[in-house]
């Protein structure tokens, strides 16, 4: 899909469909919608009066223009109440607008920048959010369908505004939005890819290609090297699988070699989680192809960071392996030793994410001395019980970092919620046989996951993002909503990118 930014009059634009907007409760169309209404001889005004168009957030109404305009269709997208309007609502509306036009077969679409007019957003941020909404909203994963006859696709979307003085801000915002949305879509592609394709080696190859294309340093720790480094927790999980495991490392040097080691992004990449010997029930197990979503987000964010070039060093670390039962698999009762020397009693081989993260976090914080370090993982089913699908649980040992992640969540729509980590919870992972055990039973399951990880971060500033619910669909409950697709929606790719930008700008 080609994206363009132009200044011009949307009522004379030649193409298949145009998108305009309306705030909830507005009695007459304004701005571009008003101009379109005039050409349509008041059709929109009539529909508003009759209550057929209400402007409710994300609603879409398609009107055929019957040659009163060069475009065949007009889509009026609702922006919700003006007083409640936000940047994320612009993103949401933009996605629904282009998708509604795609449904009626439009291939060439022009749209106003939602929020840049009456919405009172600054033009650059609005253009960025609109482009993100458009690219994310049009994403599809159809590569394994062999019959694509009835599939509708959009070829071109043009952001249009009558005011030529807005053009530069629109272009700058759109360019950034395109980079960020394309990265997010890469995370989605990787997460939706089945596990017979998206193996650890496959992920490493994708990362290597990105490194070559965008000028990142690339490194990979294979089984042998992991052994030498003493990564017993990671290797314990990997030992049941015939698929070679690896830890993928991407490094972006934006702060220069001599400056601080910088930000660390760590992502769980269990390319398939069967539960291992503590095997999962068969129902829904197919969703566990998405148990590498955290790792996908790290790889994708590194791509965007390489393109956006913030003035900070960023290292992405992705421990990748399958979790399978076999004659070689690790077992309940086994004791593993992590890279920092801590011993771990295995209570459940299904609590594997925290094990591979343990060694990755030691490597990030103690070997590479990165700080802050933020990890993302589809770590616990309990996270879905606690917060459902609309917010990521954030566990953090630094208030400033936690507050920043919360703020970024409100702006990106990858919403976060700060979770507790009181020391009392550590009681639950005390072991009779080793330093700690890898599961503490059912109470506060996601907090216990975080308490476990805390043993491996030393003094680094650290945040753990449990995305089991927010990444969408991993319990078979996903649904498409605005710019979010139903399975593996790319969370927290945009959070990671914005975090790097925010830390680089010192804000
Ligand atoms: N990958 C799962 C968590 C998960 C479940 C993610 C559902 C998305 C949707 C993780 O490896 C796991 O199995 N966690 C266990 C931990 C328990 C054994 C302490 C869980 O949540 O049941
Ligand atoms: Mn598991
Ligand atoms: Zn898992």
**How far apart (Å, rounded) are the C-alpha atoms in residues 317 and 361?**
9
What are residue 252's phi and psi, to 5 degrees?
-110, 125
How much of the chain, in percent, has pLDDT values that exceed 70?
Answer: 100
The question of whether 176 is a catalytic residue gets the answer no
**How far apart (Å, rounded) are the C-alpha atoms in residues 99 and 105?**
10
Look at ligand 1, atom 16, and give the residue with the nearest C-alpha: 351
**How far apart (Å, rounded) are the C-alpha atoms in residues 18 and 36?**
10
Residues forming a β-bridge with 219 = 249
pLDDT of 99 reads: 98
Substitution candidate for ligand 1 out of 349, 381, 392 with most atoms within 8 A of CB: 381
Contacts of 33 (CB under 8 A, 6+ apart): 20, 21, 22, 44, 76
Single pTM value for the model: 0.98
Q: What is the pLDDT of residues 41-88, one digit of tens each?
A: 999 999 999 999 999 999 999 999 999 999 999 999 999 999 999 999
Q: What is the pLDDT of residues 377-429, one digit of tens each?
A: 999 999 999 999 999 999 999 999 999 999 999 999 999 999 999 999 999 99
Handedness of CA 448, 452, 454, 455 (dihedral sign): positive
| pLDDT > 80? residue 507 | no
> How does residue 118 score in pLDDT terms, banded at 50, 70 and 90?
confident
DSSP per-residue codes, 139-204: ----TT-S--TT-----EEEEEES-GGGHHHHHHHHHHHHHHHHHHHHHHHHHHS-TTTS-HHHHH
- What are the b/e assignments for 406-442, b being 16+ CB within 10 Å? bebbebbbbbbebbebeeebbebbeeeebbbbbbbee
Class of domain 2-162: alpha beta
pLDDT of 392 reads: 98
Range 186-505 classified under CATH 3.40.630.10: yes
Look at ligand 1, atom 5, and give the residue with the nearest C-alpha: 381
Query: What is the DSSP code (8-state) at residue 398?
Result: -
The question of whether 442 is a catalytic residue gets the answer no
Residue with tokens 């909203």: 137
Q: What is the mean pLDDT of residues 112-119?
A: 93
The finding on whether 154 has its CB within 6 A of some atom of ligand 1 is no
* Structure-block tokens of residue 331: 């077992």
Return the H-helix or E-strand segment holding 73.
strand 73-78
Closest CA to 123 of 90, 81, 98: 90
pLDDT of 477 reads: 85
- 219 CA from centroid of ligand 2 (Å): 26
The finding on whether 467 has its CB within 6 A of some atom of ligand 1 is no
- 377 CA from centroid of ligand 1 (Å): 10
Q: What is the mean pLDDT of residues 177-185?
A: 99
Residue with tokens 């081989």: 349
Domain layout of the chain by residue ranges: 2-162, 186-505
Calculate ∠ Cα 55-120-164, nearest 5°: 105
Residue with tokens 């009066």: 49
**How far apart (Å, rounded) are the C-alpha atoms in residues 382 and 391?**
13
Using the atom order of ligand 1, give the atom closest to the CA of residue 382: 21
| Alpha-carbon dihedral 145, 147, 150, 155, rounded to 10 degrees | 70
Q: Regarding beta strands 17-22 and 108-111, do their DSSP bridges make them parallel or antiparallel, or are they unpaired?
A: parallel
**How far apart (Å, rounded) are the C-alpha atoms in residues 295 and 491?**
11
**How far apart (Å, rounded) are the C-alpha atoms in residues 163 and 441?**
60
Handedness of CA 387, 388, 394, 395 (dihedral sign): positive
What are the helix (H) ranges across 193-292?
200-214, 223-229, 232-238
From the candidates 68, 208, 280, 407, give the one annotated as an active-site residue: 280
Q: What is the mean pLDDT of residues 345-359?
A: 99
Residues in the chain: 507
Return the H-helix or E-strand segment holding 110.
strand 108-111
Contacts of 185 (CB under 8 A, 6+ apart): 135, 136, 139, 490
| pLDDT > 90? residue 119 | no
- 36 CA from centroid of ligand 3 (Å): 51
Residues forming a β-bridge with 393 = 417, 466
Q: What is the mean pLDDT of residues 219-247?
A: 98
Mean pLDDT estimate for the chain: 97
The finding on whether 382 has its CB within 6 A of some atom of ligand 1 is yes
**How far apart (Å, rounded) are the C-alpha atoms in residues 239 and 102?**
47
Closest CA to 268 of 344, 137, 132, 379: 379
**How far apart (Å, rounded) are the C-alpha atoms in residues 284 and 309?**
40
pLDDT of 95 reads: 98
CA 142 and chain centroid, separation: 19
């Amino acid at each position: 899909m080609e994206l363009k930014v132009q200044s011009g009059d949307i009522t004379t634009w030649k193409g298949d469909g145009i998108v305009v907007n309306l705030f909830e409760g507005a009695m007459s169309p304004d701005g571009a919608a008003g101009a379109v209404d005039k050409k349509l001889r008041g059709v929109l005004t009539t529909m508003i009066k009759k209550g057929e168009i209400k402007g409710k957030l994300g609603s879409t109404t398609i009107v055929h223009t019957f040659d009163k305009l060069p475009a065949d269709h007009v889509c009026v997208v609702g922006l919700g109440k003006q007083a409640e309007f936000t940047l994320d609502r612009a993103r949401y509306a933009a996605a629904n607008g282009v998708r509604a036009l795609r449904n009626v077969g439009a291939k060439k679409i022009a749209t106003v920048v939602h929020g840049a007019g009456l919405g009172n957003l600054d033009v650059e941020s609005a253009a960025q959010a609109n482009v993100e909404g458009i690219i994310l909203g049009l994403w599809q994963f159809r590569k394994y369908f062999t019959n694509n006859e009835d599939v509708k696709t959009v070829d071109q979307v043009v952001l249009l505004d009558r005011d030529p003085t807005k053009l530069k801000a629109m272009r700058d915002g759109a360019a950034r939005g395109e980079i960020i949305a394309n990265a997010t879509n890469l995370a989605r592609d990787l997460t939706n890819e089945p596990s017979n394709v998206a193996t650890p080696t496959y992920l490493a190859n994708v990362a290597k290609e990105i490194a070559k294309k965008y000028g990142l340093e690339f490194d990979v720790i294979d089984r042998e090297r992991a052994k030498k480094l003493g990564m017993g927790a990671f290797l314990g999980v990997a030992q049941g699988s015939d698929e070679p495991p690896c830890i993928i490392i991407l490094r972006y040097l934006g702060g220069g070699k001599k400056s601080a080691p910088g930000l660390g992004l760590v992502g769980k990449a269990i390319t398939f989680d069967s539960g291992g010997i503590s095997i999962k029930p068969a129902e829904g197990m197919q969703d566990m192809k998405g148990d590498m979503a955290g790792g996908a987000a790290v790889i994708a964010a590194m791509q965007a960071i390489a393109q956006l070039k913030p003035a900070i060093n960023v290292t992405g670390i992705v421990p990748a392996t399958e979790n399978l039962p076999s004659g070689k698999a690790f077992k309940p009762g086994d004791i593993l030793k992590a890279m920092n020397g801590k011993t771990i009693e295995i209570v459940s081989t299904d609590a594997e994410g925290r094990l591979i993260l343990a060694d990755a976090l030691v490597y990030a914080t103690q070997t590479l001395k990165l700080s802050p370090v933020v990890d993302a993982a589809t770590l616990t089913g309990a996270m879905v019980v606690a917060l459902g699908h609309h917010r990521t649980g954030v566990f953090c040992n630094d208030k400033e970092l936690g507050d920043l992640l919360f703020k970024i969540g409100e702006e990106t729509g990858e919403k976060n919620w700060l979770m507790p980590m009181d020391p009392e919870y550590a009681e639950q992972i005390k072991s009779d046989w080793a330093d700690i055990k890898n599961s503490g039973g059912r109470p506060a399951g996601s907090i216990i996951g975080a308490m476990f990880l805390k043993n491996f971060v030393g003094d680094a500033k650290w945040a753990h993002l449990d995305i089991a619910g927010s990444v969408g669909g991993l319990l078979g409950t996903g649904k498409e909503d605005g710019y979010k697709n139903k399975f593996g929606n790319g969370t927290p790719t945009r959070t990671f990118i914005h975090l790097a930008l925010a830390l680089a700008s010192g804000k």
